[in-house]
Amino acid sequence: MIFLRKRIMAIALASMILPGTVFAQQHISWWDFFVGGDGVRMKALTSQFNDEHADINIDATSLEWGVPFYTKVRTSVAIGQGPDIMSWHLSRLPLGLEEGVLSPITDHDLEVAGLSRSDFFPHAIEAASGPDGQLYAVPFDIHALVLYYNKRYLQGTDYLDASGRLTGIDSLEDFESAMAAAARNGSRVPLSYGTSEDAPVFRIFFTLLKQMGGILISPDGEILPGDSTAKATRAIEIMTHWFDEGWQPEQTSYEASVALFTSGEAAFMLNGVWEVPTVKDLAASGKLGFDWGVVQVPMLLDQPASWADSHAFAIPANARNPMSPQKREAVMTAIGWMERHSLEWAGAGHIPAYKPVAESSEFQQMEPNATYSALVDTAMYDPRSPIAGVASPVYDAAVNILAPAINGYLSPEQAIAQFKSELQSRQR
Amino acid sequence: MTMIHNRRRHYLVAASLVAPFMVILALVFLYPAIRMVALSFTNGPLIGAGDWVGLDNYRRLLSDNLFYTSLKNNGYFIVLTVLPTTLLALAIALMINRLSGRLQATMLALFFLPYILPVSVVTQIWSWMLDFQFGIVQPLLAFITGKPIPVFRNPHWVMPMVALVTIWWTNGFNVLLFIAGLRNIPVDLFEAASLDGASRRQKFCRITWPLLWPVTALVLTLQLILQLKIFDQVYLMSQGGPFNSSYVLLLMVYREAFQLNNGGYASAVALVLFVLIMVVSVLQFQLLRLGGGKR
């Protein structure tokens, strides 16, 4: 009995002396949706962070992207069981705000992280802020639609300059004649993209709409207000024309559209920057079999614009289970560290949202990212609406109506009319 | 006196045996179901309480075009699956029943195999086989119709193809039910009929079909309930498109609740579907019983 009491005393004493060294370690539970190339890089970053920080331990879980991810975080946060930090698409910020899932990022938080608002590209900060100007997420990257090209099919045309870079595409006519030239040079599919899928079709539609200065959803919730309906119709006409000419593949899945490019059948591919590592790795291992390049989407219509979104870090508003100030500091420390190490993340094709890295000489020399990084100035985020953004009704309408239309099932006018009424009915 | 006492004891024993089940049922089914009914009269989000709006959700439902589209697609899907799968299962069961021993077991296992696959695997297999660019069924489609068809992206093909996949997937269970029913028919009846010189056709019409009717009615009713609840296949293969031509009621519930955060409205749709399934299946079962009774 005395022996037992002594042991208890010893343990109690030890726990009073040791906390500074052992028990103060902050465990951060971290949820993200990064898989594939993104997932590998994020895992490397978190484990490097853990190695460098004895007092903080990130316990990361990768979940399925899309509606399942956003449903899970929203429901778990509502009952106070959310993570301490999570990844978030800035295009889906309105949904998080509507439900009060996101904890505001204060200036003090940024200070702890060693960051300030002016460190980030204005478009990204704007997309990460609520209507009240309050910051609700810390942007990590900017990823956008870009144009990949296969030099083999452009050899001997006017569209490659002396050093083998894409040139001379300053209008829709130029782009279409480049596709025609590529077809004559033997490209079976001059322009590849996932013509049967929601996101690829939407991103191109939205880019074309924005290059005409169109508005998808006005701040007061009107779908394609005023002449934007005509502009949207024009965008679908353009995409349907590419189909009619046989330039874009019929009813193609995302994976098949990438395969069409990497197997050397396509002269161009319109896709996100995240496929850069795929092509880069194939080229590095000598399996690609052609020279390639990637540029920001050229100005095909009235003004430059590219569809874009950002991955960001957000802190859930776990109202039922509030975070201790110490943990919040640890979370912000992790966010700050990630931003300063976002050069590694750029290896997945992204452009860092954190300007000190994006403007560093290391990133300026990083190819092909540096070639298209100027697109951040004309990056166009999805409209600020709970029905827009990734995995949203807008994307559903894209696969439901726009994708079949550009494959010849519906006229552009009818498609846009249906698209409008469908989205109108989703708003309440 | 003792009898009453005994009966009371019987009740107690019975109640204590049923109680664990009833408690769990009340906890995980009845309570959430009642809450869902209550939610359908509010404008609540997915999580948390909402304000009472009375019958607004139901009024809105009646003016929602997507609801009618979904209802129509559910009906179309029932037509495409319930009767065909029942007839097919009966035909397969009759054929398997004529085999014997190991061969019979093998054939039964082959037809039952798809049923044990999870829906994600089933849809993956078929999406791959029917892929527009490199699916192995496309040359066959091209041979019949003259050109390859993106079946899950074509408004006319999508529902029949989802139905085909569903039948392929679930038919094995119906075959099993029919086999069980066939084995329940006493062999003496067939022997007696043979002695009386009945033809094979007569034996089927006068013995097999009437005696199998309860099983047939069961299969039809189970199928009706199951196919009204169609969701997984549509969600995984066509996402409700193109042009909402495969949009079904449960997909509507899912999107309203989990994507649009309209818990109240989603509950209203779910409740309407629940009532629909109940009414239709009770009605059908009664009709089938009457039909069977006449024979």
The pLDDT confidence band at residue A9, using thresholds 50, 70 and 90, is: low
Q: Report pTM.
A: 0.86
User: Tokens representing B90?
Assistant: 């009966």
Query: Interhelix angle for A412-426 vs A228-244, to 10°?
Result: 130
Share of chain A above pLDDT 90, in %: 79
**Is A234 strand, coil or helix?**
helix
Reported as a single tens digit per residue, the pLDDT across A189-228 is 999 999 999 999 999 999 999 999 999 999 999 999 999 9
**A313 close to A335: Cβ distance less than 8 angstroms:** yes
**Closest approach of chain B CAs to the CA of A296, in angstroms?**
28
Closest residue in B to A255 (Cα) is B133
Architecture of domain A144-308+377-426: 3-Layer(aba) Sandwich (3.40)
**Closest approach of chain B CAs to the CA of A192, in angstroms?**
13
Average pLDDT over residues A110-133: 94
Q: Judge whether residue B259 has pLDDT over 90.
A: no
Reported as a single tens digit per residue, the pLDDT across B189-219 is 999 999 999 999 999 999 999 999 999 999 9
Q: Judge whether residue B295 has pLDDT over 70.
A: no
**Closest approach of chain B CAs to the CA of A251, in angstroms?**
7
Residues 6 or more apart whose CB falls under 8 angstroms from that of A360 comprise A343
The pLDDT confidence band at residue A12, using thresholds 50, 70 and 90, is: low
Q: Judge whether residue A116 has pLDDT over 60.
A: yes
The pLDDT confidence band at residue A1, using thresholds 50, 70 and 90, is: very low
Residues 6 or more apart whose CB falls under 8 angstroms from that of A214 comprise A224, A227, A228, A231, A232, A235
Check A403 against B242: CB less than 8 A apart: yes
To test the contact with chain B by mutation, choose from A202, A392, A399, A406 the residue with the greatest count of B C-beta atoms within 10 A, namely: A399
Amino acid letter at A338? M
Q: Judge whether residue A180 has pLDDT over 70.
A: yes
Check A250 against B65: CB less than 8 A apart: no
Reported as a single tens digit per residue, the pLDDT across A398-428 is 999 999 999 999 999 999 999 999 999 888 6
Q: Judge whether residue B3 has pLDDT over 50.
A: yes
Q: Alpha-carbon distance A135 to A326, whole Å?
A: 21
Check A409 against B243: CB less than 8 A apart: yes
Closest residue in B to A414 (Cα) is B243
Task: Closest CB to B242: pick one of A79, A391, A409.
Answer: A409
Taking contacts as CB-CB distances below 8 angstroms, the residues of chain B near A79 are 47
Q: Report the 10 Å Cβ neighbour count for A197.
A: 22
To test the contact with chain A by mutation, choose from B120, B235, B260 the residue with the greatest count of A C-beta atoms within 10 A, namely: B260
Say if A18-142+309-373 and A144-308+377-426 have the same CATH topology.
Answer: yes
Q: What is the DSSP letter of A102?
A: B
Residue boundaries of the structural domains of chain A: 18-142+309-373, 144-308+377-426
Write phi, then psi, for A236 (nearest 5 degrees): -70, -35
DSSP A339-404: HHTHHHHHTTT-EESBHHHHTSHHHHTSTTHHHHGGGGGGEEPPPSSTT-STTSHHHHHIIIIIHH
The residues pairing with A138 across neighbouring beta strands, listed in sequence order, are A313
Q: Alpha-carbon distance B39 to B264, whole Å?
A: 5
Query: 3-class secondary structure for A24-69?
Result: CCEEEEEEECCCHHHHHHHHHHHHHHHHHCCCEEEEEEECCCCHHH
Q: Judge whether residue A21 has pLDDT over 50.
A: no
**A358 close to A375: Cβ distance less than 8 angstroms:** no
Residue A6 has a pLDDT of 58
Check A78 against B133: CB less than 8 A apart: no
ipTM over 0.90: no
Q: Judge whether residue B8 has pLDDT over 80.
A: yes
Taking contacts as CB-CB distances below 8 angstroms, the residues of chain A near B48 are 78
| A188 contact B CB<8A | no
Q: Which of A239-248, B3-12, B21-30, B72-81 has the lowest mean pLDDT?
A: B3-12
Element (H, E) at A81: none
Q: Alpha-carbon distance A143 to A112, whole Å?
A: 26
Amino acid letter at B82? V
Query: 3-class secondary structure for A128-168?
Result: CECCCCCECCEECEEEEEEEEEEHHHHCCCCCECCCCCECC
Average pLDDT over residues A316-339: 92
Query: 3-class secondary structure for chain B?
Result: CHHHHHHHHHHHHHHHHHHHHHHHHHHHHHHHHHHHHHHCCECCCCCCCCCECCCHHHHHHHCCHHHHHHHHHHHHHHHHHHHHHHHHHHHHHHHHHHCCHHHHHHHHHHHHHHHHCCHHHHHHHHHHHCCCCCCCCHHHHHHHHCCCCCHHHCCCCHHHHHHHHHHHHHHHHHHHHHHHHHHHCCHHHHHHHHHCCCCHHHHHHHHHHHHHHHHHHHHHHHHHHHHHCCCHHHHHHCCCCCCCCCCCHHHHHHHHHHHCCCHHHHHHHHHHHHHHHHHHHHHHHHHHHHHHHHC
Average pLDDT over residues B119-133: 92
Write phi, then psi, for B62 (nearest 5 degrees): -70, -20
Task: Closest CB to A67: pick one of B132, B259, B262.
Answer: B259
Q: Report the 10 Å Cβ neighbour count for A299.
A: 18
The pLDDT confidence band at residue B7, using thresholds 50, 70 and 90, is: confident
Q: Judge whether residue A15 has pLDDT over 70.
A: no
Amino acid letter at A258? V
Taking contacts as CB-CB distances below 8 angstroms, the residues of chain A near B266 are none
Task: Closest CB to B260: pick one of A253, A407, A426.
Answer: A426
| A72 contact B CB<8A | no
Reported as a single tens digit per residue, the pLDDT across B70-114 is 999 999 999 999 999 999 999 999 999 999 889 999 999 999 999
Q: How many CB pairs under 8 A join A and B?
A: 85
Taking contacts as CB-CB distances below 8 angstroms, the residues of chain B near A409 are 154-155, 242-243
Domain B64-294 -> CATH class? mainly alpha
Average pLDDT over residues A160-182: 95
- Classify burial at B145, counting beta carbons within 10 Å of its beta carbon; exposed 0-12, middle 13-18, buried 19 or more: exposed
Q: Judge whether residue A22 has pLDDT over 50.
A: no
CATH of A18-142+309-373, one of 3.40.190.10, 3.30.365.10, 2.40.50.140, 3.40.50.300: 3.40.190.10
The pLDDT confidence band at residue A128, using thresholds 50, 70 and 90, is: very high
**B186 close to B212: Cβ distance less than 8 angstroms:** no
Residue boundaries of the structural domains of chain B: 64-294
Q: Judge whether residue A309 has pLDDT over 80.
A: yes
Reported as a single tens digit per residue, the pLDDT across B140-161 is 999 999 888 999 999 999 999 9
Average pLDDT over residues A91-111: 92
Q: Alpha-carbon distance A407 to B254, whole Å?
A: 28
A67 versus A142: which is more confidently predicted? A142
**Is A223 strand, coil or helix?**
strand
